Amino acid sequence: MTINLKPSTHLLHALHAHQQQHRFISDQAMIDIAAQFNIPRPQVEAVTEFYSFFHRTPRGRFDILFSNCTSCGDLTLMQMLCEKLHIKTGETRADGLISIGETSCIGMCDHGASALINSMTIRSISKSMIEGMAELIESDTKLSDWPQNWFQVDDHIRKKGLLLSNSFEAGSALKSMAGRSGQDLLNDVTSSALKGRGGAGFSTGLKWQFCHEAEHETRYVICNADEGEPGTFKDRILLNSHADVMFEGMTICGRIIGATQGYLYLRGEYRYMLDALETTLQHRRETGLLGKNILHQGFDFDVHIVVGAGAYICGEESALIESLEGKPGIPRIRPPFPVTSGLWGKPTVVNNVETLVAAASIILHGHHWFTTHGTWQSKGSKLLSVSGDCARAGIYEYAFGISVQQVLDDAGAKNVQAVQIGGPSGRLIGADYFEHLIAFEDLATGGSFMIFNESRDLLAVIRNFTHFFAHESCGFCTPCRVGTTLLKKGLDKICDGHGTAHDLDELNRTAALVSRRSHCGLGMTAPNPIRDALKNFHPLFKQRLLHQEMEPEFNLDAALEEARALRNGN
């Protein structure tokens, strides 16, 4: 029997629509979707298998995925719900009503324990909410009839800086471009010394220039809104409250590099934002800010949104491009780089949300407005996603050069044991580093700032991060596929009290190998939590070893006897 599918412009959307209707993706569905897109069936199967939000076996009418992040996860609440609904984790109940499982960080770290239910975000889960959820599920109550405040996601902006306090009227940056050449606009971006806000810090102006100079008439602009790094949620706030600025930044980039088409790649965990973002796009088209001959300035540009399906690796720009092309998100071998051979082999600029918001503001206010903030190597400001053990989790915007300690003080963090800067792929630091500065030349970060006080079992945190990387490895290269699993097993052994000094040495050697030999940034940075912990918190490991090395007790009589023996030649 042929399955009728609604027309869709992207493979990921067609798969999601089918799964929403039928609760899984059947073999027949893959055949029909392959025919719809005129692609081989194995390609559809490979995509279905690759993304964690797609399922080959039926899920429950209520499909719940609890975050296992250290900031927005609490698996004891998941177990409580499982007990009340008489279901085991990772299973679908026999009556088909409910499925419960885990997922990686869903970007709700400022809202406490959170989960996805039928792709919708439910946040700030408490024990009393678990009671209510169980009753609503057992009565098969539609999600639209659940308490709507459970699904309300707040921005939690704690400190505004250069970008967040900037008043921006839709179209203002585009209007300021009138009469200016593309080269003049590019010079403004280059002179601002704006660096990519994803963490790598490559010059935005130089990236746009390389793409503009690439030998091809067709070019693309991609906004990377797949912020999957645990502890990161700054782009969520920008997408929610500053979408016009972001789309303006994409449009300006299109004007400068000569692109007419842009794509916003939205992480699957943020699907709840899709309708609002599409409404913003449509309003921009109706007011002449997107489409043909924008503001009568003689250039065309439009934006389409593609929603991901649960793959951390798609935050890597070449993996994201593969996903946009309807393939598994496996990173490409580079070079060539996207600026010369990106989407469908055409020159492509990939920037994240914060970078594009900054670029639009620079065009509106000029590069001098931007360069008067920050340090000599890090101009402008940085949005930090502050979460964990603090009184005021949320978004903090600072000029580059702020100390870690100042952020901790502003967030109301006490008795801090460690801070994870830049998420698990970043750096784990202790108190000795708290006077260091947030800047590309000191502590670079994509935005995650996770705080752990002295009550935390830090090895349990590192164990969580290590499991995350093993789960999210795309499996393309052996060093990462096998190495992250070995790191997970080795750390599990030590954390469970079964490890020896030899296991600790082996863990260190494996971490070095995975970091050096992996194909892409995921594998290169996956060992970072372990390596930093071994360097900065080594006693935590030694305390868990099965046979702790003890200093031999000094025995004076034995020492004298040995000395006499040596003197007598024995």
Sign of CA dihedral 154, 160, 164, 166: positive
In 10 A of CB 456, how many CB atoms? 16
3-state SS of the chain: helix, strand, coil percent to 5?
45, 15, 40
**Paired tokens of 361:** 């503001």
Comparing 158-371 with 381-448, is the CATH topology the same? no
Q: Where are the beta strands (DSSP E) in 235-281?
A: 261-266
Residues of the chain with confidence (pLDDT) below 50: 1-7, 550-554
What are the extents of the domains in the chain? 62-151, 158-371, 381-448, 458-542
Kindly give the residue spans of alpha helices, DSSP state H, lying in 287-335. Answer: 317-324
Topology of domain 158-371 in CATH is Rossmann fold (3.40.50)
Rounded to whole angstroms, the Cα distance separating 311 from 333 reads 19
Task: Give the pTM.
Answer: 0.93
Rounded to whole angstroms, the Cα distance separating 538 from 28 reads 54
CA separation, residue 18 to residues 29, 43, 248 (Å): 8, 17, 33
Calculate the CA 132 to chain-centre distance: 30
Domain 458-542 indexed as CATH 1.10.1740.10 = no
pLDDT given at position 355: 98
Rounded to whole angstroms, the Cα distance separating 347 from 254 reads 12
Topology of domain 62-151 in CATH is Glutaredoxin (3.40.30)
Sign of CA dihedral 215, 216, 217, 218: negative
Rounded to whole angstroms, the Cα distance separating 201 from 445 reads 9
Rounded to whole angstroms, the Cα distance separating 307 from 75 reads 27
Rounded to whole angstroms, the Cα distance separating 303 from 374 reads 32
pLDDT given at position 555: 58
- Pick the closest to residue 354 from 235, 263, 249, 479 (CA basis): 235
Q: What string of DSSP letters covers 370-403?
A: HHTSB-SSSBSEEEEEEEESSSS-EEEEEETT-B
- Residue 449 pairs in a beta bridge with 386, 421
Calculate the CA 121 to chain-centre distance: 16
Rounded to whole angstroms, the Cα distance separating 367 from 184 reads 12
pLDDT given at position 7: 41
CA separation, residue 426 to residues 227, 347, 396 (Å): 14, 29, 18
pLDDT given at position 199: 76
* CATH code matching the domain that covers 381-448, chosen among 3.30.930.10, 3.10.20.600, 1.10.3080.10, 3.40.50.300: 3.10.20.600
